[in-house]
Amino acid sequence: MSQATLGDDDLFGEAAAEMRADVEEHLDEARAVLPDADDVWNADADNVLGVLNGLRSSLNVEDATEHLRQAKKWYVIGERADAFDDPEDLEEAIEDLEELLGMVEEAHELVGELTNTMPQLRGALTDAAEAADDEEEEEEEE
């Protein structure tokens, strides 16, 4: 082998190690910005709308999603270049985090829907109760 080939192999190995480190770093950063379990479970609000708004805020995972995207990007490049000696652990970590983020994002959407629905429901129930009261008053007057 020529000196240039050995240098290229060394550089490739160094680049592969850096790529793996980038993937792992982004996975760690994504995990670090996930919502805290207690923030999702505990609520401190005066009414259901306050609880839902707090929950929706705590379920925001945009930063984690961006870190996962970066991890996947570097993983795909490394995988296609056959740069990783043991890519299975990275792939599994990405899949696990992707599944968790999907669950959190789904919960965020559901809470968002409830946040929009609850005031409408309250208004409709108030209107129905007022209509029933009005009807009862009219019957008493007759």
pLDDT in tens, 96-106: 999 999 999 99
Rounded to 5°, angle at Cα 48 from 130 and 105: 130
SS3 47: coil
Separation CA 13–CA 78 (nearest Å): 11
Query: How far is C-alpha 13 from the geometric centre of its chain's CA atoms?
Result: 33
The dihedral region occupied by 60, where left means phi > 0, alpha psi between -120 and 50, and beta the remainder, is: beta
Amino acid at 2: S
pLDDT at position 60: 94
Separation CA 59–CA 117 (nearest Å): 18
Give the pTM. Answer: 0.80
Work out the mean pLDDT of the chain and round it to a whole number. Answer: 91
pLDDT at position 1: 45
Which of 7-11, 46-50, 96-100, 118-122 comes out lowest in average pLDDT?
Answer: 7-11
Question: Please, how many CA atoms are within 13 Å of residue 1, restricted to the half-sphere of its CB?
Answer: 8
The confidence band for 135, taking pLDDT boundaries of 50, 70 and 90, is confident
Measure Cα distances from 116 to 19, 93, 112, 123 in Å: 43, 35, 6, 12
Torsion, Cα 42 47 53 54, to 10 degrees, reads: -30
Higher pLDDT, 103 or 6: 103
The confidence band for 6, taking pLDDT boundaries of 50, 70 and 90, is low
Buried b (16+ CB within 10 A) or exposed e, 11-30: eeeeebeebbebbbebbebb
